[in-house]
């Protein structure tokens, strides 16, 4: 006994026929002309954009230059402060009591303790 009693029917694919006329007409792209107002607006926007770009770059350069100047001035200030500290130390060493007594003895001066008065501010 056959397992499958159904007959096999050969199915033929349906033929696709080309339509006689084209249902969608070809569209030709046309460029819309730009009006003078649009050209003017685009030109003004471009000029403003270029001006802003140039101003950003120039201000960045000015900022960098100012930072460099500030850094060099700070270095000079630090150098002068260090020199001031050195000079103050030298003054305190030269005006110390022991040194003044030593210089006084060399030139023949003596100190009379009775003639000394301490004055406090």
Cα dihedral: 64, 68, 74, 79 (round 10): 170
State how far the Cα of 94 lies from the Cα of 100, in Å rounded to an integer: 8
Asked if pLDDT for residue 8 goes beyond 60, the answer is: yes
What value does the mean pLDDT of the chain take?
Answer: 85
Those residues with Cβ within 8 angstroms of residue 93's Cβ, 6 or more apart along the chain or in another chain: 99
Q: Does the pTM of the predicted model rise above 0.85?
A: no
Q: What is the pLDDT of residues 25-62, one digit of tens each?
A: 667 777 888 899 999 999 999 999 999 999 999 999 99
- How many Cα atoms are found within 13 Å in the side-chain-facing hemisphere of 62? 6
């Amino acid at each position: 006994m056959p397992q499958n009693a159904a007959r096999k029917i050969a199915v033929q694919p349906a033929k696709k026929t080309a339509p006689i006329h084209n249902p969608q007409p070809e569209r030709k792209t046309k460029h819309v002309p730009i009006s003078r107002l649009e050209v003017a607006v685009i030109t003004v926007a471009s000029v403003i954009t270029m001006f802003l770009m140039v101003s950003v770059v120039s201000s960045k350069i000015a900022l960098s230059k100012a930072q460099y100047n500030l850094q060099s001035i700070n270095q000079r200030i630090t150098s002068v402060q260090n020199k001031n500290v050195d000079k103050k130390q030298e003054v305190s060493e030269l005006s110390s009591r022991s040194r003044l007594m030593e210089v006084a003895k060399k030139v023949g001066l003596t100190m009379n303790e009775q003639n000394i008065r301490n004055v406090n501010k």
